[in-house]
Amino acid sequence: MKKRALYPFLAAVALSGALLSGCETMPNVGQMGNLASALGGGGGGGGGGSGMANGIQDVIGGASAAFKDYSPQEQHALGQEFSSVLLGARPLLRNDMAQRYVNQIGWWVALQAEPPKDKDGRAIQFAWRFGIIDSDAVNAYATPGGYVFVTVGLLRQLKNEAELAGVLAHEVAHVVRGHYLAALKKGGWAQIAGGIIQTQTSNGAMTAAMVNAVRNLYAKGLDQSDEFDADRQALLYAARAGYRADGLPSVLKMYAASGSGSDVNFQMLFSTHPNPAERASKLEPLLTSKFASAANVTNEARYLAVRRKL
C-alpha cells in the first residue's frame, strides 16, 4: 500500500470500529470491581504499589522524561512515519470486516488506559489506529502516537477475543507508557527522530538513514523492563475492559508451546522479547491475587467467526 493511502484507510477503519462499539455487545465493565489500583494505581496506569515488580519506578521515570521531549503532534508524526516503515515490508490486510473488528476491540481497550501527561501537565489524547498486517509472522507492533498493528499470523493462532484484547492491551501500554520514545532517547537517536518529524510535517521523504534507524529500533526491541511493564499493564487494561485477565498470559503460553527462535514465523518475536514462559510466570501471581475476581468474558464465538474469514 502506498504511504499516502495508508492514513485515510486506517482512519476510516478506526472510525468504523468506534461507531460499531455502540451496537456490538462489549464486556460488562460493571463486573470489574475495584481494579483501578490493582497494580498500585495512579497516573499513567500504575505507580509503585505492591503489585509492581522492582524497578518499575525507573520505567515510569524514563517514560515521563521521554514524553517531555516530544509534543503530542510530534509523537503523531513519528507514529505515521514509523507505520510507513513497518508497512513497507508487508501491507495492511485487505479485509475491511476484520480491520473494523480489531479497531473496535483496540479502541475499547485503549479507553481503559490513563493518558500520560505532556510537558505542561496536560493529558495526551492519542488518535488510536489499529490495523492487521498481511503477514504470516506471529507478532504485534506499536508506534509512538497510537498506531498498533497485529499480524494475520498472530490472529490465526489466537483462540478468543480476550486473548486479542490482551495482545492489544500490551501494545497500547507501550504507547501510553512512552516505551518507544524512551528507546529513541536511550539509543541516541534523538537527532534522527527530529529529522523524521521534520520530514513528516513538511510532507517530504524519509532518508535511507531514517528508515534504517526505525528498522533497527524494531529489530533490537525494547528493554526487557519495558516488556514486563507492558505485560502487567495489559492485565489491567484488559480486565478493566471486562475481559478475562488471563488473555495475554494464555497467548504467552501459546508462544512458549508453539514457537521457537528457529521458526521463521516466530523469529522476530523471540529475538525482541523476553522468554514467553518467563513472562507468563511473572504474571501468574497477579492472576491469583489482584485479578482473581476479574470478569470471565472471552467472546470466543465472535472471535472465531472473524478468524474463519482471515
| Pairing verdict, β 140-142 and 147-151 | antiparallel
| Reported pTM | 0.85
Strand partners, 148: 130, 142
Query: Does 39 reside within a domain?
Result: no
Answer yes or no: is 24 within a domain: no
Residue 119 belongs to some domain of the structure: yes
Rounded to whole angstroms, the Cα distance separating 5 from 270 reads 31
Which residues lie below 8 Å from residue 114, measured CB to CB, with a gap of 6+?
Answer: 43, 44, 45, 176
Q: Which residue positions in the chain have pLDDT lower than 70? A: 1-26, 28-65
pLDDT on residue 25: 52
Please, are residues 92 and 132 in contact by the beta-carbon 8 Å criterion? Answer: yes
Q: Given this model, what pLDDT does residue 37 score?
A: 40
The torsion region of residue 146 among left (phi > 0), alpha (psi -120 to 50) and beta comes to left
Is 34 a domain residue?
no
- Could you give the number of structural domains in the chain? 1
What pLDDT sits at residue 222? 95
Question: Residue 69: what pLDDT?
Answer: 84
Kindly state whether residue 48 falls inside one of the protein's structural domains. Answer: no
Residue 296 burial (CB count, 10 A): 12
Give a yes or no: residue 22 inside a domain.
no
Contact by Cβ (8 Å): 310, 155: yes
Range of the domain at 97: 58-307
Q: What's the CA gap between 264 and 35, in Å, rounded?
A: 39
